[in-house]
Amino acid sequence: MRISGVGHATFAGVLVALGLLGFVHPGYVGVWQGVPKGWPAREALAVVCALVALGSGLALFWRRTAPPAAGALTVWLVLWLLTVKAVSVVAARGAVAAWDGAGETVVLIAAALALFADSAERPNDVRLARAIYALAMIDFGVAHLAYVTFTGALVPAWLPSHAAWVYFTGLAYIAAGAAMLAGVAARLAAALSAVQMGLFTLLVWVPVVARGAAKAEDWSELTISLALAAAGWVIADTYRGASWFLAPRRPLAA
């Protein structure tokens, strides 16, 4: 597979961590949250989610098993989006927070699809992966601006003007998504969006876990944040070899 390196490996590693976390703390953790309590076989589905994350993550580390694993993960995540996340959006009557949760799944879909499309040499699917990732970035930006107080509370205490940082990062997400859709500085936009999610992980959730006595919810949020940053890195890798500022001449660099 041509998409390789730290982004690919980190994405696979985070999936493994999500799977292991699902067994250490039984229930829905990380990206699998949001299943209605009244669903049949709810506990069994949680085990399936842990197995999917663990199995696909391990398979992504090997060249022969990575393509089918990426394809199967893409299908599973799309089904999850259309069922579980869609139910959450409807139940919340279209609230921005529910769309934000769906956006997290969309980012993972984009990364899984990009890995599969590259292995199958399907450039149109790579472009699709970039487009849906870009839409998710716009969704993240809107969520930041809609919940300034809540998001501001996550900004490290040593940083001044918490609200200003929320507005800055929210607008940065929107600008990155728009640039990728327009094909203007798309490589730069994808890279910066991945860096921004990585910094959010490093500055917000790593200190929470590092202080000790972290709850299962804290570990869950850390793995979600890591997964999003790694997925962004995978998407940024699809622009490798393209101009940082001009529209890419090829959908995926060889």
For residues 121 and 252, the answer to whether their CB atoms sit within 8 Å is no
The reported pLDDT for the residue numbered 112 is 96
pLDDT one-digit tens code per residue, 147-162: 999 889 888 888 999 9
Question: Per-residue pLDDT tens for 107-134?
Answer: 999 999 999 998 778 889 999 999 999 9
| Amino acid code (one letter) for 188 | L
What global pTM score does this model have? 0.89
Domain boundaries, the chain: 6-237
Name the DSSP letter for residue 2: -
pLDDT at 122: 86
> The tokens 């944040």 sit on which residue?
225
Q: What is the DSSP string of 170-196?
A: HHHHHHHHHHHHHTSSHHHHHHHHHHH
| Tokens read off for 127 | 């472009």
What is residue 253's predicted lDDT score, i.e. its pLDDT?
Answer: 40
pLDDT in tens, the chain (254 residues): 444 567 888 899 989 988 988 888 777 777 887 787 778 888 888 899 999 999 999 999 988 899 999 999 999 999 999 998 888 888 777 677 778 788 999 999 999 999 999 877 888 999 999 999 999 999 999 999 999 998 898 888 889 999 999 999 999 999 999 999 999 999 999 999 999 999 999 998 898 888 877 777 787 788 889 999 999 999 999 998 888 876 655 544 43
User: For position 4, what pLDDT does the model report?
Assistant: 57
CA–CA distance, 195 with 237 (Å, rounded to integer): 13
Distance CA 70, CA 12 (A): 10
Buried b (16+ CB within 10 A) or exposed e, 1-30: eebeeebbebbbbbbbbbbbbbeeeebbbb
CB 239 within 8 A of CB 179: no
* Listed residue (104, 76, 51, 110) closest to 225, CA to CA: 104
